[in-house]
Amino acid sequence: MVRHVSIDGANIMYGNLMMMLVFSLAVTAESLDQPRTPVSLKEDRRRVFYNIAHMVNSIQEVDEFLGRKANAFESDVSFFSDGFAGLTHHGFPCDCLRHCGGMANFSELLDYIRLKVDTGADLTLLLLDLKVSKLSENAKVAAGRSVISTIARHLWEPSTYRVNVVLSIPRVEDHRVIEGVLDGLAAPWMQHYVQNLGFDISTAKELEKIQEILANYGIYEHIWQGEGITNCVSTLHSNENLKKALNLRDLGGYPQKVYEWTVDLSSFQAAALDLGVDGIITNVPERLDQVLKEKFADKYRLATRNDSPWLRHAGFVRPETSRKPIASVSKNLKEVGEQKLSFFKSLFG
């Protein structure tokens, strides 16, 4: 069976209705299996939070950022022209005061993360930034198949604990990657992995279109929504799109989780936490960890293996007047200086 869906005049074609239903049906079955217990008055109602280390693309960076208080990683997956998921690599240009050249074979990085998790590392989430925008449409479908197959073979099996994965797609125009992922999940031996997989289209400029595209693929749950910009100019970036995504989340539909990227200065991290984000991608996770402990310990707690990254948290009341992080001039300059020093020390020892 072939179905055509029109979105803003563009025809989207994808085959086999069963392929599209795999995700929604499996997620529904998963939710029905969850025990329903009364809410205890002593239950911890703090928002579960993901401190996401940015650009964890090499074996060395896995160990480094686990030691720097991150409980989640963002990694960049690059593809060959035929859609094969080959490397984790960002390349130049990247964020300010970061090395852009970190690299590993995708499968080897997943093998190493699985090893670390199986030996006790409390890594709760892996957000994979899929660099697919330059691929042909057919190669995007192949990229989806390749990435889900590689994750299943090298991260999820065999393992005593499956790290949850969010597949992050750069633009709405790259949506055919989802077709390939669902095609890979349609195999009977793959369908149980659905409970560990989520999706994100990482710029919240076209929220209605994102929601429509995901719905056309039968995806209504396990949805993250990112919003942000490189740390080089993040201090000048408006948070209006972030607020819109948060409002949608709190209305009870799409998405279930909202995160901001890439936020390195503590005053801007605090401003995002004031708004009620579920995660922040940062190059300085130890700084974010300190902000959480010093200023938000009553509202947030770090996610653990026992927390589902697919559950929406009831929103807390936001402050009537938001912080003005740009006004913290001396503190911001001090922290930039600290990052510069750390960067040059890593260059010259």
Catalytic positions: 54, 90
Give the C-alpha separation, 237 to 233, whole Å. 7
Q: Is 186 exposed, middle or buried (0-12, 13-18, 19+ CB in 10 A)?
A: middle
Q: The tokens of 195 are what?
A: 């409970």
Q: What does the radius of gyration of the chain's CA atoms come to, in whole angstroms?
A: 20
Put residue 120 in one of left, alpha, beta given phi > 0 → left and psi -120 to 50 → alpha: left
Q: The tokens of 346 are what?
A: 């890593």
Give the C-alpha separation, 158 to 50, whole Å. 25
Give the C-alpha separation, 56 to 165, whole Å. 14
Contacts by 8-11 with C-beta closer than 8 Å and gap 24+? Answer: 8/209
120-45-38 Cα angle (round to 5): 100
Q: Is 7 helix (H, G, I), strand (E, B) or coil?
A: strand
Give yes or no for a contact between 323 and 70, defined as CB atoms under 8 angstroms apart. no
Q: Is 95 exposed, middle or buried (0-12, 13-18, 19+ CB in 10 A)?
A: buried
Q: The tokens of 246 are what?
A: 């948060």
Instruction: Check residue 43 and report its DSSP letter.
Output: S
Query: Where do the H-state alpha helices sit in the chain?
Result: 17-33, 59-66, 106-118, 137-151, 176-185, 207-216, 240-250, 266-275, 285-295, 329-348
